[in-house]
Amino acid sequence: MTLLTGFVDGLLYPLLAPAHVVALIGLGLIAGRNFLAAGAAIIAAFALGLAGGLGAIAWGVGETPASDVLLAGATLCGLIAATGFSVSAWFAAPLALVSGVALGLDSPPESILLREAVAMLIGTACGGIAVLAVIAFSASAIARLWQGIVLRVAGSWIAAIAILVLALRWAA
């Protein structure tokens, strides 16, 4: 594995882990609904949290319940999106921060070589932020479509999926 392939693997990781995709869509939905007022703050807080989580992984933090936290955050984001509320940056930014930390902690690099592992972590950071930004921008573009119904339906689906997965994990 070269540095480049390590970076690309990290870049794609947020799209290959289903829990991450669910969480990113949930967060993107609430960022997109109130894109001008809170979108930048949500993405910035997520980026900060993600950097922190990945940094913690780099420092050797072991297994954490990060995936469950990520899904709990997705549930909350989905419910907010389903209700159609436009949340303020003061409420959404901490949620994004926690989600970012959880996503980072749930993204341990596969390589044991330091340089490749660092490349993967940098790739994961870039990929996670880029995916969230694309989803948020897409959601903002369709936020007014049919009075925001698409976002609300998507929010209810995300919340339902996250609730079911959490139940399955706890039952296992």
Binding footprint of another protein on the chain (CB under 8 A): 15-19, 21-22, 24-25, 28, 79, 82, 131, 134-135, 137-142, 145-146, 149-150, 152-157, 159-161, 163-165, 167-169, 171
Nearer to another protein, 114 or 167 (CB): 167
Nearer to another protein, 54 or 81 (CB): 81
Name the nearest CA neighbour of 89 among 134, 43, 38: 38
Amino acid at 129: I
- Cα–Cα distance for residue pair 105/123, rounded to 1 Å: 14
Q: How many CA atoms lie within 13 A of 120 on its CB side?
A: 20
Nearer to another protein, 113 or 134 (CB): 134
29 close to 155: Cβ distance less than 8 angstroms: yes
Nearer to another protein, 50 or 152 (CB): 152
Residue 37 CB, nearest approach to another protein (Å): 19
Amino acid at 92: A
156 close to 73: Cβ distance less than 8 angstroms: no
Residue 135 CB, nearest approach to another protein (Å): 6
